[in-house]
Structures are given as C-alpha cells and as structure tokens.
Structure 1
Amino acid sequence: MTTNPEGIFALSAQQIRKSFGSKEILHGINLDVKKGEHIAIIGPSGSGKSTFIRCLNLLESPNHGTIDVCGERIFDAAEKISAKSVRALRKRVGMVFQSFNLFATHTALENVSLAQRLVLDRSRTESEARSEELLERVGLKNHMHKHPSQLSGGQQQRVAIARSLALDPEVILFDEPTSAIDPEMRLEVLSVMKELAQGGMTMLTVTHEIEFAKEAADRVMFLSDGESLATGPAAEILTDPTNERLRRFVNALSGVI
C-alpha cells in the first residue's frame, strides 16, 4: 500500500547523472517514490541499474542531481556534502547488497546487533532484543547463534536483510539480492522481500526476477544505456510492454523469440 501525504515522497531523485572518467553511465534519471511503494528496477547488464541504486545511498556520488528523503534535501551535486551528512543518509536509506558482507567471526545475532550499537547507540541488551525479533521475522530464530559459514546463501542474505531493518530505515535499497544465491535458495529471500513490501516498507529493488517484480512491485522502472525508457504499474508494463526495447528485454528473459 502506498501513500503520499501532502505530496511528500519517501525518496525523490532528480536528474541523476554519473560518469566514470569520460564515460557517462547515467544520463539524468528521475524517480519519485511514495511511502510504502515498491519499485523494481530492471534492465540489461550494463544499463546502469546498480550504479543508480548505489547513487541513492551515496556509495557512488552523482556528478549532477539532487536526492530528497521525506521532503528533506539530502544531496545536491552542486554543493559539497559532509561525511556526517552521508552517515545521516545511510541511517535513513538502508542497503542490501549482492554479496552478504557479513562478519565471518560474528554470529547472525552479533551481525545484526553490532550496527545498532555503533550507529544508533543502542545498548547490548536493547540491540540483541531487536535482533532476535528481526531474525525471527526473517525465519532464522533457530539459527541466530550460527556463524555465516554455517548458513546457506539464502540464510546469509536474510541475515543481511535483518541487519538493514535493524537500523529502522525509511527506505531500503536491494541490489540484485538473489544473484549470488543458488536457485533453490533464492525463493526464501524473495518470500521475505514480498512480506516486507506487503507490510508497507518503502523499497527499490534491482532485479532480473521478472515474476517477482510482477507480484511484489507496485511499479517498474526499465533502464537501458543509462536512461529510463519506461516506468509504470508492474503488471501492466511487464505483461504488455509498449516500449519496443522493454518488450525485447522481457521476451528474452521469458525465452520468447
């Protein structure tokens, strides 16, 4: 369910451009995301999907454009941004990566608790209570004292999702969260993500999982060669795409010639 009180978006990115050297990867991307909305970002390899979503968390600094979170200007490429502002943004806009980035020497419980103590200054008791609650939510109650090496790829990614949720973000970004997981394990991760979307979490997901996008996303954005070529309701845009480039992409993923 999406809401947009007083016209304020949970996340608004305008005219985002990003270059690496002389090569421009993103050519002025615009996206407004309502509170509780789930946007799936799709497109061929090299289209700029991951670069765009990394820009939204300032893991990559855009060369041009602005980013607002809940109506507050967080980033303007025309102005110098401080490290303090970057940290403040990452509290509000969480990120789940392709790789799990868990601490190998820490248990699942410790991985989820540590960031809360460092970033939110929660006590050990408070952070562990919140971690237990979240690990149960992602189906890992019986695995919270295991180390990453004792968990499957799907379980590790669910720990990473719990870790992101633990910071109480207003938006979560997912960068191809199932790409490093065995096919039979990816369904458990997608199931957790569907539940988050249905529960009203504001989410942006870079994905090649077309059926997941149809079922779980409110809207889809299609990127190709650093440009947004189509944006619209997920079921509509993926079932009967009017953009020819998008049609070829969807047909290729579906095995249609």
Structure 2
Amino acid sequence: MLRSEFELLLNKTFSPSRFQDYAPNGLQVEGKKEINRVVTGVTASQALINAAIDYKADAIFVHHGYFWKNEDPRIMGMKYRRIAALIKNDINLYGYHLPLDAHPALGNNAGLANAIGLINRSGLQVGVAIEESIGIVGELIEPVSADVFRRMIETAVDRNVLFERVNDQTIQRVALCTGGAQSYIEQAVAAGADVFITGEVSEQTIHIAREMGIHFVAAGHHATERFGARSVAAYLTNECGLDAVFVDIENPA
C-alpha cells in the first residue's frame, strides 16, 4: 500500500478533523513510499522505534506521537535521536491521539469497555470532540460487589490497579475514559455512574470520589491505552492485508 493510500485509510477510519487535539493526527514523520509492514504501539518511544527497526517495519502507528502543543519545538537530545532513527531507517510515523481514544470499535475506551463486558453504552461527554464524546458510560449485565469489580478490572488490564472504594454499594453503571482523564470524574457522577475508571490519579481526585460517593479506579495510563494500538494491528492485518504487529513496551505508569 502506498504511503498516501495508508494515510487516507487511517483518516477515513479515525476522522481526525472531528477533534480539537493536542498534537497533529496523521503522518508525523515521513518515510518510504510503500508500506507493507507496520508496528503499532502506545508511545513512539526509542524502544518502540528500535523494535520497529528490528521488525523491518515500513511504518509505526502510535497513540502518543510527537509535536505536542507547548512543547519545545527544537529537535535536540532525545527528540533528535528518535527522529533521526526514523529518518535513517526510512520509517513513517503515524500518530492518532483523541481519534484513537474515541473510535467505537478500535478505540482505547471501546476496548476497555469490551474487556469488562459493558452493555447499553452511551457517550461520556468531555468536551473535546466536535461530534461525539470520547469516554463511555455503560452497564454490567448484573450488579457486582466492589471486590469482584476490582478483580474484573485487574484481569482486563493485566495489572494491579488503584481502587478507591468509597462505600458498600454494588457496581453496575460504569463510566470510563482511558489515559489521563481523572479530571472527568464529575462528568461520571453526573452520568449516574457507580464507578469511574481512568488511567491516572491526581491527589484531589480521591477527595472528589469520597465526597461525591463514586468508586474510583486508576488502572494505569499505559495499561488502559494498549487496547487501541492492539486493535489497530489486528485490523490492518485482517481487514487491510498488511503485516502488522502490536509491540507492548512495558510501562508501569
């Protein structure tokens, strides 16, 4: 597939123009014209680039790419080494941030919702998408205790989580928004959720959870955002005929 065709495919799939994002979505570093092998991952770290070089990939697809708003624009140090490795090896870098969070089938939030079996889903409005929300509100088939729910989440993300249990109420209505979305806890309360799941936690979030009576889960920024890149690799392989593989660079955050 030509590089231009690949970007058209991704833009058609993720519709980045719908989002007011913090970094450019789409092709961020240009490489070879023809793409057959793709590595997907959460973040375009040096370790992921090295894995792509070893895999002889033509392109990398990530959730966290480069050129974030308000960052130092100079290409020096770590940024230079990363970009130099991409250019030297003629590897294209594609980054899709909020569009990958929001995609109803391939997205991070959809993947986490699938993993815990949410039904009757609707959007959790967080004010960053023009046409649709990024987070999800849904329900478990039946109520479960906080202890059971914690085990469900830890199985879904394959790691221990921070779980702030605020009362003895069972959990059925769930709100979630992966990554660094801890500030959306009040939207979760407004949506009538029994629990809010995200990736990170801030000090004040625990107080909000306690005072507003909503269970809170910080399941890891990286852990909650592996779902999208993994789904994209499967999609590119099974639906688009490319040789794509998800590479998980371990990260405890």
Would the TM-score normalized by the shorter structure come out above 0.5?
no
Structure scoring higher RCO (CA < 8 A, sep ≥ 6) equals 1
TM-score normalized by structure 1? 0.25
